Structure 1
Amino acid sequence: MQQEEYKLKDTSPQLGERWPMGVKGSGWFYGIGDRPTSTYDLVEQMYYLYVRVVKAKELPVNAVTGSIDPYAEVKLGNYKGTTRHFEKKTNPEWKQVFAFAKERIQSSMLEVFVRDKEMVGRDDFVGKVVFDLNEVPTRVPPDSPLAPQWYRLEDRRGEGKLVRGEIMLAVWIGTQADEAFPEAWHADAASVHGEGIYNIRSKVYVSPKLWYLRVNVIEAQDVQPNDRSRVPEVFVKGQVGNQVLKTRACPARTLNPLWNEDLVFVAAEPFDEHLVLTIEDRVSATKDELLGRITLPLTIFEKRLDHRPVHSQWFNLEKFGFGALEGDRRKELKFSSRIHLRVCLEGAYHVMDESTMYISDMRPTARQLWKPPIGVLELGILSAQGLQAMKTRDGRGATDAYCVAKYGQKWVRTRTIIDSLSPKWNEQYTWEVFDPCTVITLGVFDNCHLGANGATTRDARIGKVRIRLSTLETDRIYTHAYPLIVLQPSGVKKMGELQLAVRFTCLSFITMIHLYSRPLLPKMHYIHPFTVNQLDSLRHQAMTIVAARLGRAEPPLRREAVEYMLDVDSHLWSMRRSKANFFRIMALLSGVIGVCRWFDDVCRWRNPVTTVLVHVLFLILVWYPELILPTVFLYMFVIGVWNYRRRPRHPPHMDTKLSWAEGVHPDELDEEFDTFPTSKGHDIVRMRYDRLRSVAGRIQTVVGDMATQGERMQGVLSWRDPRATMLFVLFCLVAAMVLYITPFRVVAMVAGLYAMRHPRLRSKLPSVPSNFFKRLPSKLDSML
C-alpha cells in the first residue's frame, strides 16, 4: 500500500484545447464566441478580471493642505488592491495591473476609487469609477492589448454626478496567457506587502554563459628573490574571483623556472573579473614570499572555438621587494621579470553547471557551434495536491508553494500561491530541444521570503521531479501526477503530488535519429580532455557562479533552490546511495545467475523436452559455427519485438525502493545528513572520518557508473527509449540477414583487420556504437 502511494498516477485535466475561451451563456465571460485558444493548450484555462490603472489628471487638491497625495484603490467584492501613492501630485502615473481570479469573485460590480493619502486619520475620497462586469470585454492573445481610456470621476453616491478629475483605465477579462499576468497584483496575494510582492511573481531566468579559462603557464625569466643569497623555489598562483589554483614548484632551482602546466578556471559572461597571476617563492613550509604579479582582464583573451593552436605571449610582471614598491614608480626597476603564458577562453558546456548524471544541455557556449533544434519541449505546470504544511501561520499550518523548472540555460519559476496546500499554477513554458537524451528537472519549494524577516531564512524543499526526454513518445501529451518525495533525517516522506502536462514535439525525425550516432559533446572536449579532478573542481565552481548570478536577478532565484536543482551534494558519501548502487549491480547480475541456473536445470534433465532441444541446437552450432553470430542477433531481434508489447507506458519517476530510501537505518541517515566536514567527534576523528567519506564517495560514484552501464545494456531492448530500441532492433535484423549470407571467415577477417587498423586510420572522436550506447537511458533517472 505504501508503494502505491509513491507511484506515478494518471490524471485527466481539462486542458486548454478542451476549454474554449469564452463559451456562450457563461455570464460575464460572454462576448468572444466559442473560439478556442491557440496557446496554453497544456494547462487548464484560468480566467481573470484585469484592471490596468495607468494614470490620472487634473485631480482636485485638498482645501486644507492645498495639495494632494493620490493613490488608486481597486475594489471587487471583499478584495481590495491599492497602487502606490505620490506626494503632492495632481497628475500621477501608476501603471499598475490588478488581477482577480474568476473563481473567487462574489460581486458583479467593479469599483475604482481615487483617494488622497492622509498621514493621520482616514484617507479622503476624491472620486470613483464603477464598471458592470457583464459589460467588460474579453481579450485573448494574440489579440493586441486593450487600449486604456479616460474616465471622468464620479462622486461618492455614484448617481452619475461628476467631480473634477479623470483617470485612465483598461478593464478586460483574460486568462493566464495574458501579457499582463506575470506583473499583475493578484487578489489571492493580498496579504503580501512590501518587498515580498517581488518574490512571488513568476519569472524566466537565463543562466550565464560559461567559458573555460585555460592558462598554460610555460616559464618565467629573471625571477629575483628578495634574499639574493638563495636560489628561489618558485611556483605560480592564479586567481579568478574566488577560484585559486597553483602550479607545482619548479623542481630546478633557477632564476628562469619552467612549468608548462595548465590552470583551468570557469568564467561567466559578462567578464567582470580579472585573472591575477603571482609568482611566489616558497621560503619555508609555512611562508611564501611574493616576487611578482600581473592582473589581466579576461576580455583581452582569444575565444577558442576549435582545436587550432593559440599563440603564447610574454607579459611583464609588477615587481615586489627591494628596488620596487607597489604604487611607487620612482623606485621601479629598469628591467622586469617576465612570464610566458598561453591563455584562451574555451567554450564550456552547460553540463558543467549541473550533475553529469542529469544533463539538460550539451551545447557549447559559443553560439557559432550550435546546431538547429530537433524538437520542442512544452511543459504545463498544472497544480500540486496534498502538500505538507511547511510553516505555522496564525496557529495553523501553511505553505506558500512555487515551482522551478530547469532545462538548458533557461530556468522558469512560477508565481507563489499564498497559503494553499493544493496550489494551482496552470503556467505553460516552452524550450527548444537540441538533443533528446537530456533531462528536465522540476522542484517545488516553500517561499519563506514574504515578510520583513525573510532575508535570513531559506526556501524549504518540498520535492523534485526529473523527466528524461528520450523516454517520451513524440507528439504525445503526458498528463500525470508525480509524487514529491524527499529524504529527511527521520526517513523518506511524501510531501504531495505535482501534476504536469508534458509534450515533446519532433521537428526532424531524421536529424534526431542521426544524433544517436554523434558524440555527446563537441570535438574539442575529446581532443583536449580534462582529468577527473579538474572536472569535479570546474563543476563546483560553475555551480557557484550560476547560483550567484541567478541570485542577483529580481526577484532572485534563491541559492538553496539552485543548489537543489543542480544536485550540488550528489557526490558526497551516503551509505544509502552505496547500498542502492550495490543492489542495482546485483539486479543486473541476477540475469547471469538465472542463465546459470537454467543451464544447470538442462544438465540435470529436469525438463527433458527443453534439454533435447538444447542438445540439438548445440550440435547444429558445433557443426555449423558460422550460424552462431547470426543466431545471436536474430535471438536479440525476437526478444526486442517480444518486449514491445510490454514497453513502459509512463515516464520514469522517483523510486523509493530503488533508492533504498524506505528501509534505511537511522544511523545511516544521521551520517548522510551530517555536515561536510563532519561536526562530530575529536579533531583526529574528524580528519579520518572526512577522509573515509571522500574515498567512499568516489567508490560510490564508480559503482554507480558500473550500474549505469549495465542498465544501459539491459535497456537496449526494453523500449524505455523507443527510438533507440527501434534502431537496435532494425540493426539486429539487418546484421542477421547480412551475416547469414556472408561467410564467417570473411566477417572474422574484416573485424580483425578493422580492430588492428593503423592509428592514422583511427578517429579521435568516439565511435558510433559508443555514442549510441552513451545515449541509452538507465534507472539513474529514478534515483533520489
Structure 2
Amino acid sequence: MVFAFSKERIQSSVLEVFVKDKEMVARDDYIGKVLFDLNEVPTRVPPDSPLAPQWYRLEDRRGEGKVRGEIMLAVWMGTQADEAFPEAWHADAASVHGEGVYNIRSKVYVSPKLWYLRVNVIEAQDIQPNDRSRVPEVFTKIQVGHQVLKTKVCPARTMSPMWNEDFVFVAAEPFEEQLVLTVEDKVSQSKDEIIGRLVLPLTVFEKRLDHRPVHSQWFHMERFGFGVLEGDKHKELKFSTRVHLRACLEGGYHVMDESTMYISDQRPTARQLWKQPIGILEVGILGAQGLVPMKTKDGRGTTDAYCVAKYGQKWVRTRTIIDSFVPKWNEQYTWEVYDPCTVITLGVFDNCHLGGNDRSNGGGSARDSRIGKVRIRLSTLETDRIYTHLYPLIVLQPTGVKKMGEVQLALRFTCLSLINMIHLYGHPLLPKMHYLHPFTVNQLDSLRYQAMSIVATRLGRAEPPLRKEVVEYMLDVDSHMWSMRRSKANFFRIMSVLSGVVGMFRWLDDVCHWKNVITTVLFHVLFLILICYPELILPTAFLYMFLIGVWNYRFRPRHPPHMDTRLSWAEAVHPDELNEEFDTFPTSKPQDVVMMRYDRLRSVAGRIQTVVGDLATQGERFQSLLSWRDPRATCLYIIFCFLAALVLYVTPFRVVALVVGLFVLRHPRFRSKMPSVPSNYFKRLPSRVDSML
C-alpha cells in the first residue's frame, strides 16, 4: 500500500507511522509507531529504481523505548512521475470511501477497434410461408447488437424473392455481437411472421482492406416449429429456406465516432494500412482555477474536478482533486500524431461518484457534471514550441452561457519529419475507400451515432469507468440536433466569409463612381498597364496575395483559439431558444409550447424558402437564354451572340478589354441612375415559378 501526501499541504517536519490493532475491543488499540524526520527523507527521481523497503523497530507511545515488533516500509520524496503515484492513496482524498476510491484515480483508456460490417442481401430461395394459401410479401430484417435494418418488401410475389440491397453496421473488437438475419412475411400492416432465421458470428466474415470484390455465399436458415410428443412441447428444427449473402468487414474505412469538423484520427481500421507517425503531441494538464461550486456537501458548495483528454483512439483521465476550486493535476501525456489537421479535445468534469449517496436531486443515478471543454487544432500550433496558457471553460446551460473557470494546459507539437507533414497537405482527409465507395449523408450520421454508442458502452465498462455522459460530451453526440442558436451562428459565419468579397465589390464600386479621385486614377493606370501587358495579370494577382500573406504574418495568432461565445451566438440568444435546444427528442414540452416553436420554425423556413426560390429563379432565367421559352428574348440573344462573335473575331482582345474597362470606370457624369440594358433584359426572362402551384 502506498500513501501520498501533497508537499504543499505538509505542515509538520516529522512523519509518524502508527500501527494499531483493529480487533481490540478496548479503547487503547495502540501497538507502536515509527518516526521519520522529513529533512532526512531521501529523494527519488525516475528513472531511479524504487526505494528498497527496510525493517523499522516500533516505539511506544512516548517514544522512549522499543516495543515488540517491526514494520517494513519505504519513505521517500517523489514526484508524480513515480510508477506508484497513480495507485497511491492520497491524503487529500481521505474522505472518499468504498468504490469511490477507484473512481478518483487517473487512467488511460483505448477506444475499441471499430469495423464497418457490410452486408449485401442478394436473394432467398425456397420460401415456405406459414399460410400456404397466399403468396408471401417477403422482406429481410438484419440485426447486429442494437442496430436493426430492413430491406424493402420484394415487389415480385414469388417464392424466390430478390432484393440486392446493401447494409452497413458498426462492429467492435472483440466481436461479442452476432449477425441475426430473419426472413419475414408481411401478413398485414401490423403483423409480420418470421419464415426463417439465421445467426452468424462476425468472425466468419472476411476482412477486406480495399475495394476488391467479395465472394457471395449461400446460408441455410432455421425455422422453428412446435410438435407434441408425449404431452410435452419441444422445438423441432425444420428446413425452411436459404439466403444468398455477400458480407465482409471493411478495413479500408475510418469508422467515425466524432464529427469530421474536429476529427482526431483519420487512419483506416486495418493496421496494415497505417503510415508512420509524423509527430509527437505532448500535453501537460497542469490545473484549473476559478472553478464554480458544482454541488452542495455539508451545507457548502464543493467541486471534485477531473480532466479528460481525447485524441485518436487514446483517452486519458486525470485523478480527481477532492473539494478544490483550484485543482492541480500536473499530469503529462503523449500521443503519436499521424496527421496535423486533427483536433485534441479536453473536458473538465465534476466527479459525482465518490462512494457516498451517488444520487441526483431527482432520485436517479448521479451524472458527472460538465464544467467545460477545450478543442485545439494541431495545425494551428507551431512545431517545437511550448504553449502554456489558460483556456476558459464555458458551458451553455438552459439559463444561458456561463463561464465555469479556466484550465491551464501546456502543449508541444514535435515534428518528426517536416517533408512527410508537408506531403500530407496534398492527401485526402480520409482513407481512399471513403471516396471510391462513399456512404450517403444519412448513412454517415447513423453509423456515427452507432459508433459513439459502442465506444460509450465499452469505456463505461472499464475500471474506473469513463461514464456515458462524459464520452457523449467529448464526442458531441448532439451536434446534429436542430438549434436556432447554431443556425444563426452559421448564418453570420457565412456573412463573415462573404464580407471580404462584398467589401471588394464596394471598393470597386467606389472606384467606378470616382469617390476617391486619386485611387480611381491609380486604378486606371494599373488597368492600362495590364491591358498593354496582359501576361502580367496572373503574376500580379499572385504577387499581391503573397504580399498580403507576408504583411499578415505580423498579426498571426500567438495562442491557440478557444471557445468563442460571440461566434457561437451564445450571448444574445433568446431564453426560449435555449430551452428548445435543451429539449429532449422527441419533445417533452406542452402542446402550446410546441405549437409556438413550430410556428416560429415555419416563419424562419419561409424566409429561407424565399431566398432559395430567388436563387432558383435567377438560374432558370439563365437557362432560358437559349431554351426559346421566350422566342423574342432568345432571338435577341442569339443575334447578339452572332454579332459579338464577328466583332471579337476582327477586333483584338486588348481593344475590347480596354473599351469595356473604360466604360465600366466611366465618370458618374456619364452614368444614368436607371438600371442598365443587360439588367433589364435579364430580369424580363421567364422562369418556371409561374408553373408552380
TM-score of the alignment, normalized to the shorter chain, above 0.5: yes
Q: CA deviation at 1:424?
A: 0.8
**1:543 lines up with 2:448 in the alignment:** no
Which amino acid is 1:551 matched to?
G
Distance 2:58 2:139 in 1: 77
Partner of 1:480: 389
Tell me, yes or no, if the aligned pair for 1:448 and 1:458 is still in contact at 8 Å: yes
Equivalents in 1 of 2:129, 2:307: separation in Å?
58
- SS of equivalent residue, structure 1 residue 535: helix
Alignment of 1:64-75 (within 5 A): none
Q: In 2, are the aligned partners of 1:677 and 1:690 still within 8 Å (CA)?
A: no
Q: Give the counterpart of 1:616 among 498, 519, 525.
A: 525
Identify which of 66, 76, 79 aligns with 1:161: 66
Whole-Å separation in 1 of the counterparts to 2:130 and 2:42: 82
Alignment of 1:544-623 (within 5 A): 544-623=453-532
Q: Choose from 140, 143, 152 the match for 1:236.
A: 140
Match of 1:149 among 24, 39, 54: 54
Distance 1:625-1:123 versus aligned 2 partners, 3 A rule = farther
Which AA in structure 1 matches 2:284?
G
What is the CA-CA distance between 1:190 and the residue it aligns to?
Answer: 1.0
Contact 2:227–2:235 (8 Å) recurs in 1: no
Residues 100 and 355 in structure 2, CA contact (< 8 A), matched pair in contact too: yes
Change in Cα spacing, 1:683 to 1:596, as seen in structure 2 (3 Å) is closer
Aligned-partner SS, 2:184: strand
Residues 515, 259 of structure 1: alpha-carbon distance in 2 compared, 3 angstrom cutoff: same
1:109 pairs with one of 14, 28, 32: 14
**1:171-210, aligned counterparts within 5 Å?**
171-210=75-114
Q: Which residue of 2 aligns with 1:386?
A: 290
1:472 Cα offset (Å): 0.3
Inter-partner Cα distance in structure 2 for 1:184 and 1:686: 57
Does the C-alpha gap of structure 1 residues 382 and 375 become closer, same or farther in structure 2, counting only changes over 3 Å? same
Q: Is the 8 A contact 1:220 1:338 kept in 2?
A: yes
**For 1:551-601, what per-residue CA distance to the aligned partner results, in whole angstroms no more than 9, with x for missing partners?**
101111111111110001111111111001001111112112211211121
Q: How high is the sequence identity, in percent, across the aligned residues? A: 83
| Match of residue 514, structure 1, among 423, 439, 448 | 423
Is 2:537 aligned against 1:628?
A: yes
Which one-letter code corresponds to 1:381 in the other structure? Answer: I
Within the candidate set 157, 167, 190, 1:263 is matched to: 167
TM-score (structure 1 length as normaliser): 0.73
How many angstroms apart in 1 are the aligned matches of 2:264 and 2:241? Answer: 46
Equivalents in 2 of 1:413, 1:119: separation in Å?
41
**Shift of residue 129 of structure 1?**
2.3
Q: 1:422 aligns with which of 305, 314, 326?
A: 326
In the other structure, the counterpart of 1:367 is 271
Query: Which ranges of structure 1 fall in alignment gaps of 5 or more residues?
Result: 1-95, 704-743, 745-784
The CA distance in 2 between the partners of 1:224 and 1:614, in whole Å, is: 83
Query: Partners in 2 of 1:405 and 1:505 — Cα distance?
Result: 18
Deviation, structure 1 residue 682: 3.6
In 2, Cα distance between the equivalents of 1:353 and 1:692? 30
Q: Distance in 2 between matches of 1:324 and 1:223?
A: 25
Q: Hey, what does 1:777 align to over in structure 2?
A: none
CA contact (8 A) 2:254 2:267 kept: yes
Using the alignment, how far apart are the partners of 1:217 and 1:481 within structure 2?
A: 54
In 2, Cα distance between the equivalents of 1:683 and 1:312?
A: 55
Please tell me whether the aligned partners of residues 376 and 504 of structure 1 are also in contact (alpha carbons under 8 angstroms): yes
Give the direction of change, closer, same or farther, for the CA distance of 1:250–1:329 in structure 2 (3 Å limit): same
Q: Which residue of 2 aligns with 1:503?
A: 412
Residue type of the partner of 1:451?
A: G
Give the counterpart letter for 1:667 in structure 2. Answer: D
8 Å Cα contact 1:678-1:690 kept in structure 2: no
Q: Aligned partners of 2:251 and 2:512: how far apart in 1? A: 59
Residues 329, 680 of structure 1: alpha-carbon distance in 2 compared, 3 angstrom cutoff: closer
1:605 Cα offset (Å)? 1.6
Question: What whole-Å deviation, never above 9, does each CA across 1:662-700 have from its counterpart, x for those lacking one?
Answer: 11111111111111111123499589959979x98xx99
Q: Which protein has the larger Cα radius of gyration, Structure 1 or Structure 2?
A: 2
CA contact (8 A) 2:128 2:240 kept: no
> CA contact under 8 A between 1:679 and 1:686: conserved in structure 2?
no
**Using a 3 Å threshold, how does the CA distance of structure 1 residues 336 and 284 change in structure 2: closer, same or farther?**
closer
**1:523 alignment partner in structure 2:** 432
Query: What is the rounded CA distance, in whole Å, between the counterparts of 2:153 and 2:597 in structure 1?
Result: 28
- Structure 1 residues 429-464: Cα deviation after superposition (integer angstroms, max 9, x where no partner): 111100000000011111111133216110111111
Establish whether residue 99 from structure 1 lines up as the match of residue 8 from structure 2: no
Displacement after TM superposition at 1:349 (Å):
5.4
| Cα distance change, pair 105–246 in 1 and its aligned pair in 2 (3 A) | same
Secondary structure of the equivalent of 2:479? coil
What is the CA deviation profile of residues 257-278 of structure 1, one whole-angstrom value per residue up to 9, with x for unaligned ones? 1111111111111111111111
Is contact 1:351–1:360 with CA below 8 Å preserved after alignment?
no
Q: Secondary structure at the match of 1:337?
A: strand
TM-score by length of 2: 0.83
Distance 1:665 1:546 in 2: 35
Which amino acid in 1 is paired with 2:476? D
Aligned-pair CA distance for 1:364: 1.3
Query: Which of 645, 669, 679 lines up with 2:588 in the alignment?
Result: 679
Task: Find out whether 1:404 has 2:313 as its counterpart.
Answer: no
Q: Deviations over 1:261-318 (max 9, x none)?
A: 1111111111111111111111111111000001111111111112222111111000
2:646 match: none
Partner of 1:125: 30
> Is the Cα contact below 8 Å between 2:20 and 2:32 reproduced in 1?
yes
One-letter amino acid matched to 2:552: N
Alignment partners' CA distance in 2, 1:156 and 1:228: 93
Alignment of 1:352-363 (within 5 A): 352-363=256-267
- Give the aligned residue type for 2:462: A
User: Does residue 277 of the first structure (1) align with residue 181 of the second (2)?
Assistant: yes
Deviates more, 1:447-456 or 1:399-408: 447-456
Alpha-carbon deviations, 1:606-656, whole Å to 9, x = none?
222211121122223334433322222222112112211111111111111
- The partner residue of 1:293 within 173, 197, 201 is 197
Aligned residues: 601
Q: Give the alignment's Cα RMSD to 1 decimal.
A: 2.6
Task: Return the offset for 1:155.
Answer: 3.1
CA distance in 2, matches of 1:239, 1:410: 29
Would the aligned equivalents of 2:116 and 2:255 in 1 still touch at CA under 8 Å?
Answer: no
Matched with 1:738 is: none
After TM superposition, give the deviation of residue 340 of structure 1 in Å: 0.7
What secondary structure does 2:357 align onto?
helix
Question: Conserved in 2, the CA contact under 8 Å of 1:387 and 1:422?
Answer: yes
Give the Å deviation of 1:343: 1.0
The residue identity in structure 2 corresponding to 1:227 is D
> Using a 3 Å threshold, how does the CA distance of structure 1 residues 217 and 323 change in structure 2: closer, same or farther?
farther
Instruction: Report the 3-state secondary structure (helix = DSSP H, G, I; strand = E; otherwise coil) of the residue aligned with 1:519.
Output: coil
Kindly tell me: are residues 579 and 684 of structure 1, through their superposed partners in 2, closer, same or farther at Cα, counting changes over 3 Å? Answer: closer
For residues 682 and 656 of structure 1, the distance between their equivalents in structure 2, rounded to whole angstroms, comes to: 32
Q: Distance in 2 between matches of 1:274 and 1:692?
A: 43
- Contact preservation (8 Å) 1:212, 1:348: no
Distance 1:422 1:547, change over 3 A: same
Q: Give the letter for the 1:664 counterpart.
A: V
Q: Measure how far apart 1:160 and its partner are.
A: 4.0
